[in-house]
Each structure stands twice: as structure tokens, then as C-alpha cells.
Structure 1
Amino acid sequence: MNILLTGGAGFIGRWVAKQLLEDGHKLWIIDDLSNGREANVEEFRQHPQLQSFVKGSILDEALLTQLFDEHQFDICYHLGASINVQDSIDDPRTTFNNDTIGTFYVLEQARKHHVKVVFMSTCMVYDRCTEETGITEQHPIKPASPYAGAKIAAENMVLSYYYAYGLPTVVIRPFNTYGPFQKTGGEGGVVAIFLKNKLAGKELNIYGEGTQTRDLLYVADCARFVVQAGYSSKVDGEIVNAGLGRDISVNELAKLVLDGDESRIRHVEHIHPQSEIQKLLCNSEKAYQLLGWKPEVSLEEGIRRTGEWIESTDLI
């Protein structure tokens, strides 16, 4: 197939690109490099199926029009977005423009050319988990940050195009994804940050009490889920979760990374406690029922692989 991938130079985007190229599709990538890095796609530069890497924004309607007019895309995997919660609190306009308006521009092109859209949303749209069976797609949502609010708005637009125009679209909500090629600084990559600091002999800083839990999904499993959502018509018009199905507190995660050495753990003041979700635990039953997808990499194995990757780079 001919496939457009927005945000393909990002952390998850890089793994999705790898999977799509391995599956034999012709691939076009667009990324404005605000979050992504060209180095992430460097290894694919000579791949015969990579048609083009375009440095550009999904807010550039003329560029999107040109891409969709010139190439008969079968699927658009739409991963391009502002993803930082704190940035969205400090500057909600940029996040809204990129995540909501940018998605609208993508949808308009997809509608014109009848291209399936796989929209990458986030587990951050959910309210805290209250059931030990985990968060299903029917779980209450709570836009606790402008990032979550912008994603919910975009989700609604994506699904409206399915109902109003019969456009094949799917909203996917992966839980906290980690692994090789994730940035080891800033916000969001708690596993990568912890591993980098461990390897550098530094302390591990935990925001708040550290009792908040996360369901951590290894990136290769996440990419497999993203790609399969594009291949199957069974998920058209649906919202679908993906996660490990196991949550771990940030305190326990730090201990796991440090092999039990609690002397290097330090608690610091939370930068955005109002947008913290206290418990995140995914129920991926729907992904299994519709796509046959389930995670294959355990948390311990994923941490080992990620640590090896960080050690093999110059990130320490």
C-alpha cells in the first residue's frame, strides 16, 4: 500500500515506520521535528520503500494538499502531535493547534481522497482507574490538561468523519510507551530517564509521593498495535486501547530500575499535580478481540532492552 505517516521521526513514529517498511509498503513520512529527530529515521534513508521524508507541518494545508493530491494513499497513520503535558499547560494554543486543528486538516484531505485514518490518541484522556480489571474504552474521560483536552477534541472529529462521511477511521489509545529511541530527558519517558540516570550514577527524582501508577507498554508492541489498526476494517469507527495490563507505581519502577537500591531515590515537588492521573491500568481485551493483538514483551525484558540501547548510544 501507499502510506502516509505523520510524526514519523518521533519515538513511536520511528518504530511504526520500521514496521511498515518491513511489511513492504511504500512510505511517506512528514514531521516538523518539533518533537522528532531526523536521526530516528536515518537508518531508513536508503530503504527502497521509503519514498520521501518531508520536513514540514501538518498545519501547512498547502503541503498536505500536495502530498494527498500527488500520491494515492491507502492509509494515513496520524501520529504527529504536541505530546508534552507541561508544555500544554504553559502554552495551550500550540498544543490545540497541532493536536486538534492539525488533525482536522489531515481529516479533510483524507475525506477528499477517501484515505483511512489511524489517529494516535493517548491514555491521558482517561480519569483514574478505579477497577482492578483495568480501564476499558467505556471508562470515563477527564481532560485534566490542555493536552488531554486537545486529544479528546481531535478524537471526536476523527469519529465524526466515520459517522458523517463513512470514512474509515480509528482512534487508538496506547498507554505509557517506552523503549529504545525515546528521549532520555524532559517529560514523559520515565523509564528512559530513570535508566539514563542510573547508568550515569545519578539519583532518580520522583515527582510527588511516587504512589501514582503507570501501565508501561514496550514500544515494539505499541508499534505492532498501531500498524494492525490500519490493516483491519474491524476497528473502523472504534476507540481501542493498548497496554501491558499491569501497572506499577513510580516508586516500585525506580526500585526495579535500580535493582532494589533505594538510596538513590529522591522525591521532588510535582510540577503539575493537577494533571496527574493517580492510577493507570489498561484493559486491552478489545484490541485482542478485534485485532488479535496482545503485548509480547514483559516490563522486565523491556527495561533490559532499553537499558542496553541507552548504554550503546552516547546518551549517558
Structure 2
Amino acid sequence: MNILVTGGAGFIGRWVVKKLLEDGHDVWILDNLSNGRRENIEEFFHMDHFKGFIYGDIKDRKLLSELFKNKYEICYHLGASINVQDSLDDPETTFNNDVLGTFYVLEECRKQNIKIVFMSTCMVYDRAYDEHGITEVHPIRPASPYAASKISGENMVLSYWYGYKLPAVVIRPFNTYGPFQKTGGEGGVVAIFIKRKLDGKILSIYGDGAQTRDLLFVDDCARFVVEAGYCDKVNGEILNAGSGRDISINDLARLIVQSGEQIQHIPHIHPQSEIQKLLCNYSKTEKLMNWRPEISLEEGVQKTEAWIKSHLYLV
């Protein structure tokens, strides 16, 4: 198939592109490198099925019109502003990228009836209430402009399914981590903690550290994203993906450094947007797609640390 991945130079995007290429598809990437990095995708440039990296913005309607002349079968729409704190500081940029940008991509998909896989986030949810975890019908709580923009994008995507029968699926992966994730301020907690450990620095935890996260290894996440595009049964659906296990930030820090001496607690920079308990229930996805995670947290942390150690020049 001909496939477009917006945001394909980002952390999850590059793993999605890798799997699509391994599956034998012709792949184009559109990315403005606001979150992504050219280094993430350079290994693909020599591959026969890699058809091009286009440096550009999803809000550039002229560029989109030209790009969609390639007659794609699937568009994986991962391009977005993704940082909660950035959305609180500058909500307009997040709105424009995550709502208007999604609308412009949707319009191009509608013209040719191209399936769209829309990358949303677990940050749209209210906290998990119990150990059964968060299902797709769990209450939402847009506690940041980022979450609100993703909910808006989800509803726009689903309106094209109901209104135009455009093949579409909304996916909500939980907290994804692994190789190629940034280890600085825009990165994920696992990558940040590992890098600080390797640098001999203190691991700083916002608040009391009792907040929990369901951490999904990026290989498992990419498989979920890609297969949602392949599966017709999920059209018109919202789907979760996670490990089905949550861990407190305190326990995660101890898993990574094995010592309390390298850990400190600091005031939360955005406590109003904190979700106290995130635990994924992925039973719907398992039923519809036969998907389940394969990499445990302990194995995933080891793989991530090994990659960061061998790529310190990049991170």
C-alpha cells in the first residue's frame, strides 16, 4: 500500500514507519520537526519502500493537496503538539496543530476515501477508579488544552466516519516509552529518569510520586498503531492500548536507580493537569484486533537503558 505518516519523524512515528516498511509498504513521512528529529529516520532513507521525507506542516493546505496526489490507502495521523505544559503556556499553538491541522488532513482523506488512524492520548481520561482500569467508555476529563484539543480531534474524526463513512479509527495509547524517546523536558518519564541516572544526577519527581502510569513499550505501541490501520473491524471505534499494569512514579524511580538516595520530590509545575491513576484496560482492542502487549516493564526499561547508553551522542 501507499501510506502517509504525519509526525513520522517523532518518537512513536519512527517506530510506526519502521514496521510499515518491514511489512513491505511504500511510506511517505510529513513532519515539521517541531517534536521529531531527522536522526530518527535517517536509517530508512536508503530503503526501496521509503518514498520520501517531506519537511512541512499539516496546516499547510497547499502542501497537503500536493502530497495527497500520491493516492494513499492509509494515513496515520500522528503529527501534533504533544506537551501538556506547552499547551498550558500556549494553548493557541496546540489548538491550531491538533484541531485545525487534523481537520485539514481529514479533508484530504475525505476527497479520496483514505482511511485515517488518529493518534489520541490517554491524557483525555479521568483517573482510573479501580484495578479494572480505564476502558474506552470511561469518563473523559480535559484537564489541559492538549487533552481538550485531542478530544476535539477525536470527535472531528468520528464525525467523518458517521457523516461520510470515511474509514477512521481513534487510538488512545497509554504512556509510551523506549528507544529514540527524548531524554529532556519533552521526553517521557522513563527516558528522563534513565538519562539522569546515567549522568549521575538526581531523579526529580513532581509532587508526592504516588501518581501512577501504565507504561507501554514502543514496539508494542507501534504494532498497535499499524494494525489498527490494517483492521477494518475497528473503523468507527475508539481503542486503548497499554500494558494493563500501572506503577507509581516513586516505584518507577526505584526500579531504575535501585536507591532512594538519587531521588528527590519537587513541587508540581502543573498539578491541575495531573491524572492520579492511569491504568489501561485494553480488552476491547484485544477482542477486535487480537492485540496484546508483549514486553514487560522490566524488560522494556532494560532495552531503553541499553539504547540510551549506546546513543548518548543523540540523546
The interval holding the TM-score normalised by the smaller chain is over 0.9
- Cα distance in 2 for partners of 1:286, 1:191 equals 27
Write the letter of the residue equivalent to 2:292. Answer: K
Other structure's SS at 2:208 match: coil
Tell me which residue corresponds to 1:279. 277
Conservation of the 8 A alpha-carbon contact between 1:128 and 1:280: yes
Tell me which residue corresponds to 2:168. 169
Write the letter of the residue equivalent to 2:145. Answer: P
Tell me which residue corresponds to 2:185. 186
Deviation at 1:187, TM superposition (A): 3.7
Tell me which residue corresponds to 2:87. 88
Greater than 3 Å deviation, 4+ residue runs: none
1:268 to 253, 266, 269: 266
Other structure's SS at 2:204 match: strand
Aligned residue pairs total 314
Other structure's SS at 2:19 match: helix
Write the letter of the residue equivalent to 2:39. Answer: A
Tell me which residue corresponds to 1:28. 28
Write the letter of the residue equivalent to 1:283. Answer: N
- Cα distance in 2 for partners of 1:102, 1:38 equals 21
Q: How does 1:48-67 map to 2 (within 5 A)?
A: 48-67=48-67
After superposition, the C-alpha distances for 1:207-229 in whole angstroms (9 at most, x for unaligned) are 00000000000000000000000
After superposition, the C-alpha distances for 1:256-278 in whole angstroms (9 at most, x for unaligned) are 0012x101100011110000000
- Work out whether 1:294 is the aligned partner of 2:292: yes
Q: How does 1:250-261 map to 2 (within 5 A)?
A: 250-259=249-258, 261=259
Tell me which residue corresponds to 1:218. 217
1:307 to 305, 308, 312: 305
Conservation of the 8 A alpha-carbon contact between 2:181 and 2:187: no
- Cα distance in 2 for partners of 1:188, 1:267 equals 19
What's the C-alpha RMSD, in Å, of the aligned pairs? 0.7
After superposition, the C-alpha distances for 1:99-154 in whole angstroms (9 at most, x for unaligned) are 01000000000000110000000000000000211000000000000000000000
Conservation of the 8 A alpha-carbon contact between 1:123 and 1:174: yes
- Cα distance in 2 for partners of 1:34, 1:264 equals 32
Counting aligned pairs with the same residue, the percent is 68
Other structure's SS at 1:301 match: helix
After superposition, the C-alpha distances for 1:71-123 in whole angstroms (9 at most, x for unaligned) are 11000000000000000000000000000100000000000011000000000
Write the letter of the residue equivalent to 1:111. Answer: R
Q: How does 1:142-157 map to 2 (within 5 A)?
A: 142-157=141-156
- Cα distance in 2 for partners of 1:96, 1:205 equals 30
Deviation at 1:169, TM superposition (A): 0.3
Conservation of the 8 A alpha-carbon contact between 1:84 and 1:188: no
- Cα distance in 1 for partners of 2:58, 2:200 equals 40
Conservation of the 8 A alpha-carbon contact between 1:205 and 1:265: yes
- Cα distance in 2 for partners of 1:225, 1:289 equals 13
Tell me which residue corresponds to 2:130. 131
- Cα distance in 2 for partners of 1:244, 1:188 equals 19
Write the letter of the residue equivalent to 1:279. Answer: K
Deviation at 1:188, TM superposition (A): 4.5
- Cα distance in 2 for partners of 1:287, 1:138 equals 13
After superposition, the C-alpha distances for 1:226-269 in whole angstroms (9 at most, x for unaligned) are 0000000010000000000000000000000012x101100011
Tell me which residue corresponds to 2:9. 9
Tell me which residue corresponds to 2:157. 158
- Cα distance in 1 for partners of 2:312, 2:35 equals 19
Tell me which residue corresponds to 1:236. 235
- Cα distance in 2 for partners of 1:228, 1:314 equals 32
- Cα distance in 2 for partners of 1:85, 1:208 equals 16
Deviation at 1:9, TM superposition (A): 0.2
Tell me which residue corresponds to 2:109. 110
Structure 1: gaps (5+ residues): none
Write the letter of the residue equivalent to 2:276. Answer: Q
Other structure's SS at 1:216 match: strand
- Cα distance in 1 for partners of 2:218, 2:185 equals 18
Deviation at 1:190, TM superposition (A): 0.2
- Cα distance in 1 for partners of 2:312, 2:182 equals 12
Write the letter of the residue equivalent to 1:298. Answer: S
